[in-house]
Amino acid sequence: MSNGTRRPPQRRKRFDGPRSQLGGLLADLRTARGFTLRQVEEATGNAVSNAYLSQLEKGRVQQPSPNVLQRLAVVYAVPYESLMEKAGYLAPSDGDEARKHRRLSAFALDDLSAEEEAELLRYLAFIRSRKPAR
């Protein structure tokens, strides 16, 4: 009752081998932002259940529908197309449109692919995990 601020339990990370591309990406995006499965579920307006999101991240779903991908793209603030591509929808056949310029200028975050962003965020989380919380 008394509103003690609980801290989320930390789960041990398991290394279950090579993750599916989309699953790993989604997991990285979520954890890098510090969201829980249920937070994402709510952020999508209950359009994506936490159970299903878990299955997605574990690579147990082959081809999630674009509806789901779009919701997640909004929540994670990544381009919809990159998720579609990872899901195997957008043919990588010399895709010209999805292939966007990469400037590589100063902090060209606009040009980050979702993959790169996920890696960066993961790395940032790693950096910060070594320092006391602010």
Residues forming the site for a second copy (CB under 8 A):
32-33, 63, 65-67, 70, 76-80, 84, 89-91, 98-107, 109-110, 112, 116-117, 119-121, 123-124, 127-128, 134
Q: Which of 53, 50, 58 minimizes the C-alpha distance to 69?
A: 53
Interatomic CA distance for residues 93 and 96, integer angstroms:
9
Distance separating alpha carbons of residues 21 and 57, to the nearest angstrom: 9
Residue 21 touches which member of a second copy, DNA, none, C-beta under 5-8 Å by kind: none
13 vs 35: CA distance, rounded Å = 16
Out of 19, 33, 58, 122, the only residue in the binding site for DNA (CB under 7 A) is 58
Cβ atoms within 10 Å of 34's Cβ, excluding its own: 10
On the CB side of 59, CA atoms within 13 Å amount to: 11
- 118 binds DNA, rule: CB under 7 A: no
**23/112 with CB nearer DNA:** 23
Tokens 């310029």 found at: 101
The item of a second copy, DNA, none sharing an interface with residue 38, based on CB under 5 to 8 Å by kind, is DNA
Q: Using the minimum distance from each CB to a second copy, give the nearer residue, 3 or 134.
A: 134
* Residue ranges that bind DNA, judged by CB under 7 A: 1-2, 4-12, 14, 31, 36-39, 46-52, 54-55, 57-58, 60-65, 67-68
